[in-house]
Structure 1
Amino acid sequence: MTNMSIVRFACGSSPRLCRSRTSFMVKSTCQYSATAVEEKANEQSSKYDLVVIGGGSGGLACAKEAAHLGAKVAVLDYVTPSPRGSKWGLGGTCVNVGCIPKKLMHHAALLGEAVHDARAYGWVLPEKAKVMHNWEVLRNAVQDHIKSVNWVTRVELRNKTIDYINGRGYFHSSHVVNAVLNNGKERSLNAEKVLIAVGGRPRYPDIPGALEHCITSDDIFSLARPPGRTLIVGAGYIGLECAGFLNGLGYDATVMVRSVPLRGFDQQIAQLLCGEMEERGVKFLHKCIPTRVEKLENGQLKVTWSNVKDSSLQSDVFDTVLFAVGRRALTKELAVTTAGVHTEKESGKIRTDNEQTNIPHIFAVGDVLHEKPELTPVAIQAGKLLAHRLFNGGSEVMDYHNVATTVFTPLEYGTVGFSEERAVELFGEDKLEVYHAFYKPTEFSVPQRNASRCYIKVICEREKPHKVLGMHFVGPQAGEVIQGFAAAMKCGLTMDLLKTTVGIHPTTAEEFTRVFVTKRSGLDPTPQSCCS
C-alpha cells in the first residue's frame, strides 16, 4: 500500500494504519482536509443575499422585511464612541441618541409645566414647596428604556434568523464587506446586494477646545452630571429642542445662532418659536460664531465668540457646551469609493435613484442620502419598499414628498408640505393663497397660559379647487395634529374640502377646518371667541 493509499484510507476510517512518518502524513493531510472543509463551510456561511451596514431604523426595516421574504441577511452595526466616550447599543440614532430620548426629555419638561398648571385646576399642592427636577432619575429612566429597546431589537433579529454582527463594516470590494470585530479580527461577508444605512454623526467646528471639552446630542441624553448652565451652538431643530427641554427642566440655556433659526423650515413659524422660547427664559445670541473653548480650573468652560456683523469678540462661562451644527454622513469610514460608490464632496452623502447608487447592486436608505428628509419613518418606509423590490418583485417606490414632521420645542411645531418661502419660490406669490389664524387652546384658559403664538397656516393654490401645498401648526400635541392632515394631503386635500370638513370641538386640530382669513385680505387673524 502506498503512502497516498494510506492517506486516503486513514482519512476515511482507520487510524490504526497511522505510524511514525506515515502517521504524521496521514494526520497532517486529515487536518488539512478538515480545515479545507471548514473554510468552505465558512465561505458558504458568509454568502448573503443582502448585507446591511448599519443597525438603525432604515437598515433594520429593510433587513427584517428581506428576511421575511426568504432572503439570507446579515446586519453589521458598530458605534464608534463619541469624543466624550459615549456609545450605545443596536437601534441607531433614533432609538439611542435621537427621537426617543429627545421625546422623553421633552415630555419631562412638559410635566413640569403641568405641575404649575395643576393649582389653577384645583389640585392642592404645598404653597411653599419648590418644584425641583432630578437629572439623574430622568437620565437613568431614559437609558433604561433605551436598553430595553436595544434588547428587543436583538431578539427580533434572532427570531427572524438574521445574522447580527457587532462589527465595523467597510467595503473590501463592491461585493465583499469586511467587519472589524471587537477583538480586532476581521470577518469577510460576500454579498449579492449591499445596503448602506449608516446614517450620520454630529459635526464639531474646527476651533480650539471643541473636541476636548464639548458635547453633542450623542452625549446629552446619557450625561452623567446635570448639565447646569448650557450653551447650545446651533439653532436647527436639534439645537432648539435641546435648549427647550433643558430650560423646561430648570437649567439656564443659551442658543448661539449663526444665521437663521430652523433653516429650511417656515421662517415666520421659526420666529414665533424663538419668541416663545425667549419668553420662557431661553437666551439667544444672534449672528454669532464660536472661536474658542477653554476649560477653567473650576471645571467650567469659557467660550469666546465672534459677532458676524462687526467681528467683535465676546466671552462667557458655561457648565456645558453642546454643539448642534449639523451632521456628517459616515461614508468615508465605509470606504465606499473602494466599491465605486459616488458621494457628494461636501457632505459625503449619496445620491440615489430609488435608493439605488451608481453601483447597481449597492443601495442606500436613511440619513446617508443626499437631499432627502432625515427622518426615521422615512428611512423605515424606504427600507421596507426596497426589500420588496429586491426580493418580492415589488414596484412601489418611496415618495419623499409631503412628509410630515414635528419640532418638539416647548410650543411644538408640526408641518407637512412646503414652507411659505419655498411655495413662493416654486409657484410665485400671485398664484398662492395663504390662510392663517391665531387661536387659544381651551386648556390654556384656566391657568391663563400665554397663547399668543399658537398659530396655524395653510398654503394653497389660488385657483380652484385650491390644492393644499403646505400646512403648519404651532401648539400643543402638534405631532398628533399634523399626522392626520398629512394623510389628507397625500390624498390630494384641497382648501374647498378642508372648509367642508366638520371639526371636533373643542380641539386644537379643528382650527384647520375653521380658518378663513387670508394674508392677502389683510384681516385680523386673531380669534374673537372660542367658536368664532
Structure 2
Amino acid sequence: MAALCRGRHRWKRTNCLYVLARNLTGKFDYDLVVIGGGSGGLACSKEAAQLGQKVAVLDYVEPSVRGTKWGLGGTCVNVGCIPKKLMHQTALLGTAVKDAKKYGWQIPGPVCHDWATMAEAVQNHVRSLNWGHRVQLQDKVKYLNIKGSLVNEHTVKGLTKAGKETILTAKNIVIATGGRPKYPANIPGAMEHGITSDDIFWLKKSPGKTLVVGASYVALECAGFLTGIGLDTTVMVRSIALRGFDQQMAGLVTDYMEAYGTKFAWKCVPQRVDKLSSGALQVTWTDTKTGSEHKDTYDSVLWAVGRAPETKALGLDKLGLQLNKETGKVVLGADESTSVPNIYAFGDIGEGRPELTPTAIKAGKLLARRLAGQSTELMNYDNVPTTVFTPLEYGCVGLSEEEAEKRHGKDSIEHVGYRTTTNTLLASAPSLKFVFLPPQVVCERGGDQRILGLHFTGPNAGEVTQGFALGFQCGATYSHLLQTVGIHPTCAEEVVKVNITKRSGLDATVTGC
C-alpha cells in the first residue's frame, strides 16, 4: 500500500503494520477523539468542544443480526430508553381507555391496537432525535460516520462502510461504544430465527404471539408493553427476575404482570428454535423443576439474556489495554482512565459501572472537564436512581435489602414498609390502577438511621424516585422521612408514611389513608 500522507503525519506500510512518523512539532489533529456516538460519547464531545477543545466523534452502527440499523444517538435514543418509554406509554394509554369506560366514558366498539401506526410514530420521533444530534454537532464537533479502532495511545484508524481508511491523531482518546444484546450460545435456531431489543422497536409489523426469553429489566419491559397492546406474551425465566434488584420488589412486579395478562414460564430453559413450514417458530424447552420437555409455537422469539460490551473490534488487545476476562469490559480507574495512558473509557463498557444513560452522560461531561483542565471532580457512582418501566413501574435508589445485608450485616439494618402477602397482590386487578403498595426503605438500625435504599412501585415511579434521590445526596435518614409531610392523595406520599419493620412481624399492607 502506498504511503498515506495526512496533514502533518506520514504513514508508511511496514510488515503489514502502520508506523507513525510524526514531524518535529509533535502536534495532533485533535485534542480529543471520542469513539462512540451514544448519549455519553456525544455529551463528552460537546462538553469538550464548549471548553475550547478541538474534538472529533466517530460513530458507526453495525447492523444487528436481523439487519436492523439506525442513526446517531446510540442505544438509548434508537433501541433503548426512548422507543421503550414511548411503547410503554402506548400500552398505558390503551389501559386507560379501557378503564375510562368504568367511569362513564362512552367508547363505541372494541378497543384495539395497530402496531404499524405506533411503529411509524415512534420511529419518526427517533429519526427526529437523530437529526437533532447531527445539528447540535455542527460547527462544534467533527462528526465522522466511520468505525474506529485504536492504533496506539494517540492514534485512531477509521474505516468507512466502503472500506476507505482515515487516520486521526489526538492528545486524548475516549472510548464510549456501549454494548449490544447477546444471543444465547449453543441453542440451535436462536440467532437464525430470534430477534433482540435491537430489532423490536424497528419492526414494521406486529411481532404477534411472542416468547420473551430472559427476566432482566429489558425482558420484562418489552413483555409488559407487548401484553399491554394486546399481544399474547410469555416470559421464560431460567432462575429469578430482575437479578441485582431488591427481590421482594421484583416479586411485586412479576405478580402484577401476571395479573395484567403476561404469562410466565418459571424455571425453564430453551433448547432449540425451529421454523415450521407455516412460518411459525416452534420452541422446545426443559422445565428444570420436573425435567420434562415442552413445545409451543410463537410468531416471534425475543432474546433478552444480557448485553455484551462493544470492545472486540477496537483493537484493545494490541495495545495491552486491561479488560475483565469474564465480562469483556474495560477495567477503569476512578477518573475513567484505562491501563494505557491517554486512553479513557466510560459508560456501559466500563467494568463495575451502571449501564444507565444518565450516568454515562454525567461521567462523560465530567471527564471532558478534567481533560480540558477545568475541573478535578470525579463521577460519583453511589446511589444512582433508576426505574424499571414495567406495567407496575418500579423505581429505586441505593441498596437492595440483599445488598445492604451483605455489606452491613443483617442485624445492622432495618427494613421498613415491607410486605408479607405478595402472592395475593392484585390478583383481581385487570389493569393498572392507583393502588397503594407499601414502598420499601432499607436503613441503618442504629444511630441516625441513615437510609441505605429506597424502593417504590406504582404509577410514575421514575418521577417519584427522582425526587427522593436528592435526599440521598443530602444524607437522608429515616427520621427525615418521617418528618416529611406527604401530599394527599398521591402514591408518593406512601414513602413518607412507612413505619412497620420487617423485624416486627406485622403486615405492612396499606389499607387506606
Does 1:503 pair with 2:486? yes
Residue 237 to residue 260, structure 1, CA distance change in 2 (3 Å)? same
Distance 1:450 1:141 in 2: 26
Contact residue 415 and residue 441 of structure 2 kept, 8 A: yes
* Superposed CA offset, 1:224-258 (max 9, x none): 21110000000000000000000000001100111
**Structure 2: unaligned runs, 5 residues or longer:** 11-21, 422-428
Asked if structure 1 preserves the Cα contact closer than 8 Å seen for 2:438 and 2:510, the reply is: no
Q: Does 1:188 align with 2:167?
A: yes
Deviates more, 1:181-190 or 1:88-97: 181-190
Superposition TM-score, scaled by structure 2 size? 0.91
C-alpha spacing 1:45/1:135, structure 2 compared with 1 (3 Å)? farther
Residues 292 and 528 of structure 1: is their aligned pair in 2 closer, same or farther, counting only changes over 3 Å?
closer
Shift of 1:175: 1.7
Residue deviations 1:245-299, cap 9 Å, x none? 0000000110011111000000011111111111111111111111111111111
Q: In the TM superposition, what is the alpha-carbon distance from 1:330 to its structure 2 partner?
A: 1.1
Shift of residue 41 of structure 1?
A: 8.6
Report what 1:475 is aligned to: 458
What residue number does 2:387 align with? 406
Aligned to 1:260: 240
Q: Output the CA distance in 1 between the equivalents of 2:342 and 2:275.
A: 49
Question: Where does residue 180 of structure 2 map in the other structure?
Answer: 201
Amino acid at match of 1:193: N
Please name the residue that 1:74 is paired with: 56
Post-superposition offset of 1:76: 0.4
Give the Å deviation of 1:423.
0.6
- Asked whether the equivalents of residues 208 and 292 of structure 1 are also in contact (C-alpha less than 8 Å), the reply is yes
Superposed counterparts of 1:35-54, under 5 Å: 39-40=7-8, 47-54=29-36
Tell me what 2:94 maps to. 112
Match of 2:158 in 1: 179
Q: Distance in 2 between matches of 1:36 and 1:292?
A: 50
Task: State the aligned residue count.
Answer: 488
Aligned to 2:502: 519
Q: Which stretches in structure 1 are left out of the alignment for 5+ residues?
A: 1-34, 440-445
Aligned mates of 2:492, 2:195 — CA distance in 1: 37
The residue type paired with residue 529 of structure 1 is: G
Can you list the C-alpha shifts for 1:145-179, whole angstroms capped at 9, x where unaligned? 0000000101111142x110101111122221111
Amino acid at match of 1:243: A
Please state which structure has a larger fraction of its residues in helix: 1
Give the AA of the match of 2:144: I
2:392·2:432 contact (CA, 8 Å) conserved in 1? no
Residue 122 of structure 1, CA deviation: 2.5
In structure 1, what is the Cα distance between the partners aligned to 2:28 and 2:121? 39
Q: 1:513 to 1:39 in 2, by over 3 A?
A: closer
TM-score, scaled to structure 1: 0.88
One-letter amino acid matched to 2:352: E
Q: Which moved more, 1:305-314 or 1:315-324?
A: 305-314
Q: Residue 381 of structure 1 corresponds to which residue in structure 2?
A: 362
State yes or no: 1:297 paired with 2:277: yes
Separation in structure 2 between the aligned mates of residue 376 and residue 436 of structure 1, nearest angstrom: 30
Partners of 1:58 and 1:383 within 8 A in 2: yes
Which residue of 2 is the match for residue 284 of structure 1? 264
In structure 1, what is the Cα distance between the partners aligned to 2:202 and 2:391? 21
| Correspondence list, 1:124-523, <5 A | 124-126=106-108, 129-160=109-140, 162-206=141-185, 207-353=187-333, 354-436=335-417, 454-523=437-506
Amino acid at match of 1:176: T
**Contact in 1 for aligned 2:438/2:508 (Cα 8 Å):** no
Q: Contact 2:146/2:159 (CA < 8 Å) preserved in 1?
A: yes
Which residue matches 1:87?
Answer: 69
- Matched residue, 1:102: 84
Distance 1:257 1:448 in 2: 23
- Report the CA distance between 1:313 and its aligned residue: 2.0
Aligned-partner SS, 2:110: coil
* 1:114-149 Cα deviation digits (max 9, x unpaired): 1012123332222xx110000000001000000000
Deviations 1:438-482 (Å, cap 9, x if unpaired)?
79xxxxxx9996666733011111113110000000100000000
What's the secondary structure of 1:189's corresponding residue?
A: strand
Between the aligned partners of 1:36 and 1:111, the Cα distance in structure 2 is 58
- The superposition leaves residues 50-106 of structure 1 with CA deviations (integer Å, 9 ceiling, x where unpaired) of 110000011111100001111111100001000100000000000000000000000
| CA-to-aligned-CA distance 1:320-356 (integer Å, 9 cap, x gap) | 0000000111111111122221111122101101211
CA distance in 2, matches of 1:397, 1:234: 35
Q: By how many angstroms is 1:503 displaced?
A: 1.3
SS at structure 2 position matched to 1:510: helix
Return the alpha-carbon distance in structure 2 between the equivalents of residues 144 and 448 of structure 1.
Answer: 29
Q: Using the TM superposition, give the Cα deviation of residue 405 of structure 1 relative to its aligned residue in structure 2, in angstroms.
A: 0.2
Tell me: CA distance 1:450–1:390, structure 2 relative to 1, closer, same or farther (3 Å). Answer: closer
Give, in whole Å, the separation in 1 of the partners of 2:317 and 2:430.
59
Distance 1:479 1:37 in 2: 52
Deviates most, 453-462 or 302-311: 302-311
1:46–1:188: 8 Å Cα contact kept in structure 2?
Answer: no
2:438·2:494 contact (CA, 8 Å) conserved in 1? Answer: no
Q: Aligned equivalents of 1:303 and 1:527: distance in 2?
A: 42
Contact 2:418 2:502 in 1 (8 A): no
The equivalent residue for 1:4 is: none
- State the AA in 1 paired with 2:67: G
Distance 1:298 1:115 in 2: 35
Aligned identity (percent) is 55
Alpha-carbon spacing, 1:220–1:453, altered in 2? closer, same or farther (3 Å): farther
Rounded Cα–Cα distance in structure 1 between residues aligned with 2:239 and 2:291: 14
Q: In terms of Rg, which structure is larger?
A: 1
Alignment CA distance shift 1:83-1:392 (3 Å): same
| SS at structure 2 position matched to 1:205 | coil
